[in-house]
Structure formats: C-alpha cells, structure tokens
Amino acid sequence: MKVLGLDNVAELRFLNFIFVFWGVNRAIKMNIDINHEGSYFTNFYVGFGASVIGVALTILGLMIYVQFIDPSFIIVLENSSLWGKSLSLSMVVFALAIEGIASSVMCSFTLMQYYKNYKSPDIIA
C-alpha cells in the first residue's frame, strides 16, 4: 500500500476481513474435499486454525515492518480513526491479536453454518 501511496487510507484495512473470509472458506472446503471430513467441529477448527495462522503471520510481518523498515508507521496508525494516540508496538500487536482471533471465530462460525449441511460427493453419510 505504501508503494501505491494508500498507506494512510484506514478503510482499506477492512479488506483484511474479506481475505480472512476467503481463506477460512478455502481451508474448510479443502478439508471436506481432500480429507473427506464431514465433522462440524473438525472443519470449524480447521477454518479457525488457518485464520489464526494468518493472523500470527500478519502480526509478525507488522512487527518486522515497524522495527526494521518503517518505524514511523506507528504514527500512521495513531493518526487513523481506528486506534487512538500514544501507541506502542506491543499495544498494536495485542489489539491485532484480539481483533484477528475474534474475526477468525466469526468467519469460521459463519461459514460452518453453510458447511454443516454440505456433503462432499465422496463422503458417505
């Protein structure tokens, strides 16, 4: 986003939810189709686990970016309407972890409402 000059547009951060939703959907669908897994809770945990791994990698990427590439990015976060003032990297990491886990649960639960009745042709009920 920085290369395109869009690093100050806070609304673009909401695109993360679309990426999380797509990733969780893909993980659940692949688990059903490839592993022939029809269990609600197993598929829920697969979706949740995939999105938590994505959140962890995002947080790791942010930490590396702020510490080694652009330490002034914290100021960009402070100036957005989403965060507040006087931020530290640990506060941002904690907030992203909570937000990411919450969106992981919501996406996994929402998608499992669809997939609870979905049966792969290979799964014998």
Strands (E), the chain: none
Q: Per-residue pLDDT for the chain (125 aa), expressed as one digit of tens each?
A: 667 777 667 677 678 778 888 999 999 999 988 888 888 999 999 999 999 999 999 999 999 999 999 888 888 777 765 666 778 889 889 988 998 899 899 999 999 998 887 665 555 44
Query: What are the distances in angstroms from CA 53 to CA 62, 64, 97?
Result: 14, 17, 11
**Angle at CA 74, nearest 5°, toward 69 and 76?**
100
Predicted structure pTM score: 0.77
